[in-house]
Structure 1
Amino acid sequence: MIKIENLTKKFGSQIILNNLNLNIQDGQKVLIMGQNGAGKSTLMKAILGELICDSGSILIDNINPIIDRKNALRYLSFVPQTPPPLKLSVAQLCEYSISSTQTDLNNIINYLKELDLSYEKEHKKPFYKLSGGMKQKVLIALALARDSKTILFDEPTANLDPQAREKFINILKSKFQSHTLIFISHRVSEVQGIVNRVIEMDLGNIIKDSEV
C-alpha cells in the first residue's frame, strides 16, 4: 500500500504538489492524468524517493522512501518516460539489474522476446546507441522481470510502435493481474482495459478520483 498525506512540494514560489492526499491499495491499477505541469512526474519522483518534499509524508508498506529507500523500493519497479543515457552494454545493464535485484536473466530475455527484441542479437550494444523503442523495451523487460509487487510507468509506450504497444499491454493483462500498477499516460485508450481507477491532477491538486 502507498499512503501519501499532506504532501507539498514547491520550486521557488511555484507549488508543484499542493497538500496532496492519496492512498493506493495493493492490487489497484491506477492511471494518473493531467496536463504538463500538473504534478504527475513530481509525485512519482517523490514516491520513488528521488525528491524530498517540503512537507507531508509518503509510506510504501509503512516504510518511508526518503529514510529507508532501499527497503521501501525493494518490491517496486519503475519504467521512466525518458531512458537514461547509459554507456553500459545491454548485457552489462542486465547484469547490474540481476546483481541488485536478484532478477533472473532468463526472465529478462523472455520479456524482451515477447516485445520482439532479441537479447542474443543486441546484448553487446551500448544501451545509449539503441533506438528509442529498443531502449524502452529493455527498460520494460527489466522492470517486469523483477516481478515487483508494485510497478510505476511514466508514459511507458511513448517510444513504442503500435505493435509493441499492443504486446506490452497484453503482457500486463495476462501476467500482472494481481500487481499494483500505476501509470502516467496520455494514451488513455491503451490502458482502459487494465486500470480500475483514474486520478486527474491539475496544478498540484487531485481534481478527480474515480473507479472505472
Structure 2
Amino acid sequence: MIKIENLTKKFGSHVSLDSVNCEFNKNESIALMGANGAGKTTLIRSILGYYHADAGSVSINGLDPIKQRVEVLKEISFVPQLPPPIKLNIEELIHYISVSAEVDEDKIMHYANEMKLDLAANMKKSFFKLSGGMKQKLLIAISIAKRSDIIIYDEPTANLDPKARDDFYRLLKQNEDEKVLLFVTHRLEEVKDLVNRQIYMDLGKVVSDEKF
C-alpha cells in the first residue's frame, strides 16, 4: 500500500531522511517512534505529498503522492497532532468534507456520537473555537467515516481524556480490517494494544523495525 525506497530529504545541510526503505501493507497497525528530529514528521509529510524528495521515491498503491496527489489523498485520512485553524463552523465543515471527500455526513455524525461528541448542539460553532478535545474527537470521527485504506494519526490521544481514548481504541478495533493504520507517537503504551508493528527512527534512519 505504501512503498518507500531510498528516500532522502534534506533541508539545507540537514539530512532529515537518509535513504529510508520501508513498506506498509494492509492489516498492519504501526507505531512510528523516535525522538524529536528523528525524521518521523518528514516521512509522514513525504507520504502525504507535501515534500519533494531529494532522492528515492514514495508510492501509495502505485501512485506518486506529488504527481497524483488528488488521487492519493482520496486513499488517506490524516489527523495531525495540532488541529488546523479552520474557521468554518461545524455544519459548514461537515458539508465541505462530505462534498470534497465524498464522506457520508450521517457517518460523521455517527462516529462523533460514538466519541461522545454532541455535534447537534454545536453545529453553528466555529471549529477554531472548539476545545482541543472536541476538535480531536471530530477529526477522528471524520477519519473513520471516510473509510480510507490508510489512516495516519499523529499523537492522536494528546487531547483526549481516558474515556475518549477508550472510545477511540474501540472504534479503531472495529474498523481496522484491510487498512494501514500508522500512529506517530512518543507513548507506545497508549497504542500497544492496537499495533502489530513497531518502527523506531533516529537521525533520519529506520534503526529498528519489529513485527509481532
TM-score range, shorter chain: over 0.9
* Unaligned ranges ≥5, structure 1: none
Letter aligned with residue 157 of structure 2: T
Give the distance between the partners of 2:54 and 2:122, measured in 1 at CA.
43
Q: Contact (CA 8 Å) 2:31, 2:182: kept in 1 or not?
A: yes
Give the distance between the partners of 1:177 and 1:72, measured in 2 at CA.
20
Please give the TM-score of this superposition, normalised by the length of structure 1: 0.97
Aligned to 2:7: 7
Letter aligned with residue 12 of structure 2: G
Letter aligned with residue 68 of structure 2: D
Give the distance between the partners of 1:146 and 1:42, measured in 2 at CA.
24
- Secondary structure of residue in 2 paired with 1:109: helix
Aligned to 1:171: 171
Aligned to 2:206: 206
Matched, 1:119 2:119: yes
Alignment of 1:88-99 (within 5 A): 88-99=88-99
Q: Which moved more, 1:2-11 or 1:172-181?
A: 172-181
Aligned to 2:37: 37
Give the distance between the partners of 1:56 and 1:108, measured in 2 at CA.
37
- Secondary structure of residue in 2 paired with 1:73: helix
Deviation at 1:100, TM superposition (A): 1.0
Deviation at 1:48, TM superposition (A): 0.4
Give the distance between the partners of 2:122 and 2:52, measured in 1 at CA.
37
Q: Contact (CA 8 Å) 1:9, 1:17: kept in 2 or not?
A: yes
Q: Contact (CA 8 Å) 2:27, 2:177: kept in 1 or not?
A: yes
Q: Contact (CA 8 Å) 1:10, 1:54: kept in 2 or not?
A: yes
Give the distance between the partners of 1:143 and 1:199, measured in 2 at CA.
23
RMSD across aligned C-alpha pairs, in angstroms?
0.9
Aligned to 1:196: 196
Deviation at 1:178, TM superposition (A): 2.9
Give the distance between the partners of 1:157 and 1:28, measured in 2 at CA.
19
Aligned to 2:25: 25
Letter aligned with residue 166 of structure 1: D
Letter aligned with residue 37 of structure 1: G
Letter aligned with residue 53 of structure 2: C
Aligned to 1:132: 132
Percent of residue pairs bearing the same amino acid type? 47
Q: Contact (CA 8 Å) 2:32, 2:200: kept in 1 or not?
A: yes
Deviation at 1:27, TM superposition (A): 1.8
Aligned to 2:106: 106
Q: How many residues align?
A: 212
* Unaligned ranges ≥5, structure 2: none
Deviation at 1:175, TM superposition (A): 2.4
- Secondary structure of residue in 2 paired with 1:78: strand
